[in-house]
A and B are shown apart, each in its own frame.
Chain A
Amino acid sequence: MNDKAQLYTLEGLMAAVLITLTVLAVAQSSVVIIPQTDNFLEVQMKQKINDALVILDVTPDTTMEYNLTECVASWNTSTEASYGKDQLLALDKQLAIMLPDLMYNVEFAYVENSSVVVKNTVFNGAPTENSITANRLVALSNATVNSYGGTWMIPDDELKVIEVRLTAWHV
């Protein structure tokens, strides 16, 4: 009987076992790191636009002339922004200082006649797929609207809540 080839088969088997064991050992002992950098950049951007809205809201008059509530109150509700035609220049100007390397749009969302209305107030273009939105609520009273020259119709004994949505993206 010629059993010469059997040894080679066993060698092959053992080699296969060896390779498998090595791969297993490597896979078990190291944690596979998934790159998080992209994710982190998004967090950074979200944080920044959120900060911009918060700062606009809490800013004293000595630092910025118009705070978020004043900007919203001065809006003419019958207008809508389109490309190159902003409706709230003061808001746009102040956001441009805070977000110098971002493009952004601002929308107001509010309830009117039991339905939600969403309107552009600052429009710099169509957002890309990677855009991020931050929002903040503003409460308006009739007195505020009157003193800043907007056209909101609010009864004297009511408040109107407007959601300010700031959508930003990298160019």
Chain B
Amino acid sequence: MDDRGQVAFDFLLGMGLFLVAFIFTMQFVPGLFISDSTDETGIAFTAYRTATVLSEDPGWWDDSTKKGTDWEDHLSSSTRIGLAVDTIPKTRLTDTINLLSMDKSLKFMQLDEDTVVTKLGLYDNINGKHIRYGYNISINQDGNPILLNDTLFVRGEVNTDSVDVFKIERLALMETGTFVEYDAHSIYSNGTADTTEISINGSQKGKMVIDISNFTTTSPNSSFENISMDGTLLNVSTDYVVYLKNSSNGFENYSSPIMSNNTLRLEIYPMVFGNSGLVEIEFDNVTFVAGPAVEYTASKEPFYELAQMMVKVWK
């Protein structure tokens, strides 16, 4: 008899038996061969959720006796981080979505890494073990992080090896400072008819935006000259910017002349003023009635600017 094939047959039988046993073990011991990675969609959801919570929710804090949305004042008992403005901190308001509060944003920048990762859920839970995602959260204007007070709004790491980064972009209105609108007839000169004074009392957060309209012009060449703070002349473009709105267009970069029906907007950057000071605005061929300096803090309201929130998450 020719038994040439026998050896291979034995091998096959043994191998087959082994495989059956192997697969049986693999199937019946759970988690033995599951790798320590999740699928990509989980990260996409995390990015989406993070961006949504940050831009639409005012956050929440809760201790045994009290609760509210002003988590930025109750850090130790904060349960959720959100940046949306809250007008009434006692209730869960959701009608202020996409309006971001400066106080909350500044506090968010100061939080420690652990708090941010845990509160925003920027980790994956594998058998009770937390594995952190890489993340980067920023609020941008023209592609660069926005300057809040004197802090750049960007958190997290920079992704160096760009593997499977999930990013989501939200549009938002960011509170960048305070705003006051003046009628040129209700602000006064300090003795020199073409100079008016505004006094700042108490600390200012963010930039100071001043709109002045209804000018008394004394020639067709009326113009804005300069701003000084407590006697020091400020630098245009590094310390402040000037816009002008004529009747037909919106605000555009300032160019003379100023007409009586124009609105002048001054945006003074936060580095310039300390806790209080006296702002002197000088014009040419514009007259103000003599009188005391008007107080800025008395009538200010928040000033919002369009910005993009970018949330990037990766493994």
Interface residues of A (CB under 8 A from B): 3-4, 7-8, 10-11, 14-15, 17-18, 21-22, 24-25, 28-29, 31, 33, 36, 40, 43-44, 47-48, 51-52, 54-55, 58-60, 62-65, 97-98
Q: Chain A residues near B169: list those with CB within 8 A.
A: 44, 47-48
Give 18 A-B pairs besides A21-B16, A21-B20, A21-B23 with Cβ atoms closer than 8 angstroms: A4-B4, A7-B9, A10-B9, A14-B12, A15-B12, A18-B19, A29-B33, A36-B40, A43-B168, A47-B48, A47-B168, A47-B170, A54-B97, A58-B97, A58-B99, A58-B173, A59-B304, A98-B306
B179, A31: Cβ atoms closer than 8 Å: no
Assembled-state Cα–Cα distance A54/B100 (Å)? 13
Interface pair B173/A59, CB less than 8 Å apart: yes
20 contacts between A and B (CB under 8 A): A4-B5, A7-B4, A7-B6, A7-B9, A11-B12, A14-B12, A18-B19, A22-B19, A28-B27, A36-B41, A36-B44, A40-B166, A47-B48, A47-B169, A47-B170, A51-B55, A58-B97, A58-B98, A58-B99, A65-B250
Q: How many of chain B's residues have a CB under 8 angstroms from any CB in A?
A: 47
B contact residues vs A (CB 8 Å cutoff)? 1-6, 8-9, 12-13, 15-16, 19-20, 23, 26-27, 33, 39-41, 44, 48, 51, 55, 96-99, 166, 168-173, 179, 181, 209, 211, 250, 301-306
Binding site of B, secondary structure by majority: helix, strand, loop or mixed?
mixed
| B209 x A55 contact (CB < 8 A) | no
Considering the complex, give the chain A residue whose CB is closest to the CB of B309. Answer: A51
A55 to B305, CA, bound (A): 11
Contact B40 A43 (CB under 8 A): no
Interface of A is mostly: helix
* Interchain CB contact under 8 A, A63 and B306: yes
Q: B19 to A21, Cβ gap below 8 A?
A: yes
Look across to chain B and name the residue whose beta carbon is closest to the beta carbon of A51. Answer: B171
Establish whether residues B170 and A33, one from each chain, have CB atoms under 8 Å apart when the complex forms. no
